[in-house]
Structure 1
Amino acid sequence: MDLGIKGKIALITGSDSGIGKATAKQLLSEGAVVILTDKQEDQLKKVAEELKHLGTVYAYPADITEVDSIKALHDYTKETVGEIDILVQNAGTSGVQGMFHEIDDAGWVETIEVDLLGPVRVTREFLPDLRNGGWGRIVYLASENAVQPYKDELPYDSAKAGVLSFAKGLSRSYAKEGLLVNVVSPAFIETPMTDEMMEKRSEKMGVSFDEAVETFLDEERPHLELKRRGKAEEVAAVISFLCSDRASFVNGSNYRVDAGSVATIN
């Protein structure tokens, strides 16, 4: 399917691995120009080198919790390729975990700084680009946790719920200018973040990594009917559609890529 984005300029945060990297691959294959950004410069350059055979790709390190860093990224982007047409805000963290009474203010602030204020800061900086051309797309990555909170991940749950509300409000602000805003909410995808979660679970329980995944699915995600972790490419496919001309009547929506993990229809 031709997504109609050949020549469009896409910025993908958190793109040195996982869902961000998979999305970069798919957008490049559709002819988009892609700017990768993440905190680790060496890994970012490695990924850019790996993907360059697919199309035009650039890489520039940035930290979405720092305004000056985001501005420097914007300056680089404008000088190198021009104004962006597509923003995929994927960068995030699992944040502090534990029962509510175990988490102090610092844990809450750290998680919200990345998972809620990060998207706000990146959007604020790049919004003029996205409003300028009469055609734009923003896709935020939230999570199943945004609508189905888990008791030991309340800071992350709350931040991702904030992303849903932020995106919905933003979608009503600029649609008439051609800027469409949507959200993708994955559940338990094969990424470095869930790898780390399962490694900790494996060590804590004294079981293998695969057993940690299996017991997590049985005990913590009983409604994830496919009984496996999702693949980054499966999430990227939905993100790529929402970045495209094919999604020209989709705005303010939350697409769950969760194999049924969220138990309700809403």
Structure 2
Amino acid sequence: MDLQLTGRVALITGASAGIGRSIARMLAGEGCRVALLARRRHLLESLAAELPASAEPLVVVEDITDPSAAPRIRDAVLGCFGRLDILVNNAGGSRPQPPGELGDEAVWQEAMELNFHAARRLTHAFIPAMQAAGFGRVINLTGQDEPHNVNPANAPNGATHIWAKALSRQVGRDGITVNSIPPGRIRSEQIDLRVMPTEESRRAWAEKEVPAGYIGQPEDLAVLAVFLASPLARYITGQVIHVDGGTRRYSH
């Protein structure tokens, strides 16, 4: 299937590792030119070196939680490519809290900045250019809405889903779609280092919780993000689509 992505311009935040890195590779493989954004320059540069020359990779080193970062990022991408067709808001992270530390205000504020405000500001910065072009794809990587405990990252996930739905209704006639993808357990730095550091723990959890029987690889999610980025996905907008091997128990 030709996804009609050749020559499109994509910006992927959190592109240095895991899901973001996989999405960047896959978009480049489909013919996109890509801007790679994260805080770790050496990882972005190593990714850029792996991509085909046609990707014309632009490395953007920024901390997206800085409220002043969005206009700088917009100017860098539009200055290099002249437009942005696809925005993948992938940067984010879980913030589990021990029961005795639920009142740590700094953690709650940081979680909201990283997992909601940063993507909102960046998206709003690029929307006018997408409207002018008559085409845009906004894809938000969020998180579970079936929380098992208090986690400051859960509230921003819900906020993102509501904001994205509202935005999709406002910009739909401009040729712009806005969708959210909550990953289940996908192999990443966070999972491998913080949540399930051993192969035994990952295997045991998957056998108990995942109908598919295994923890997903970043590519298992990237394929959906890349399809949603394509012109073929023009009638899919305002949606929250889970990629979790069947882990989620809700039917809606």
**TM-score using structure 2 length:** 0.94
Distance 1:149 1:262 in 2: 10
| Amino acid aligned to 1:159 | P
Offset of residue 102 of structure 1: 3.5
Instruction: Tell whether the 8 Å contact from 1:100 to 1:151 is kept in structure 2 after alignment.
Output: no
Relative to 1, partners in 2 of residues 1:90 and 1:52: Cα closer, same or farther, differing over 3 Å? same
- After superposition, give the CA deviation of every residue in 1:185-208 in whole Å (9 maximum; x if it has no partner): 11010111111223xx55xxxxxx
Task: Map residues 48-67 of structure 1 onto 2, 5 A cutoff.
Answer: 48-53=48-53, 55-67=55-67
- After superposition, give the CA deviation of every residue in 1:164-204 in whole Å (9 maximum; x if it has no partner): 11111111110011111111111010111111223xx55xx
- After superposition, give the CA deviation of every residue in 1:132-188 in whole Å (9 maximum; x if it has no partner): 111111000112x2x201214x21111111111111111111001111111111101
Task: Map residues 1-266 of structure 1 onto 2, 5 A cutoff.
Answer: 1-53=1-53, 55-99=55-99, 102-143=102-143, 145=144, 147-152=145-150, 154-198=151-195, 202=197, 209-217=198-206, 222-266=208-252
Instruction: Tell whether the 8 Å contact from 1:96 to 1:108 is kept in structure 2 after alignment.
Output: no
Give ranges in structure 1 of 5+ residues lacking alignment.
Answer: 203-208
Distance 2:126 2:100 in 1: 35
- After superposition, give the CA deviation of every residue in 1:115-145 in whole Å (9 maximum; x if it has no partner): 01111111122222222111111000112x2
| Amino acid aligned to 2:139 | V
| Amino acid aligned to 1:234 | D
Count matched residues.
252
Distance 2:200 2:44 in 1: 32
- After superposition, give the CA deviation of every residue in 1:66-116 in whole Å (9 maximum; x if it has no partner): 132222222111221111011010001112433376442112111111001
**TM-score using structure 1 length:** 0.89
Relative to 1, partners in 2 of residues 1:30 and 1:103: Cα closer, same or farther, differing over 3 Å? same
Instruction: Tell whether the 8 Å contact from 2:29 to 2:52 is kept in structure 1 after alignment.
Output: no
Distance 2:67 2:83 in 1: 18
- After superposition, give the CA deviation of every residue in 1:187-236 in whole Å (9 maximum; x if it has no partner): 010111111223xx55xxxxxx1122234446xxx442123211101100
Q: Which 4+ residue blocks in structure 1 deviate beyond 6 angstroms?
A: none
CA RMSD of aligned residues (A): 1.7
Distance 1:39 1:226 in 2: 34
Distance 1:216 1:106 in 2: 31
SS in 1 for 2:153: helix
| Amino acid aligned to 1:149 | P
Distance 1:215 1:197 in 2: 16
Instruction: Tell whether the 8 Å contact from 1:96 to 1:111 is kept in structure 2 after alignment.
Output: no
| Amino acid aligned to 1:56 | E
SS in 1 for 2:216: coil
Distance 2:59 2:202 in 1: 33
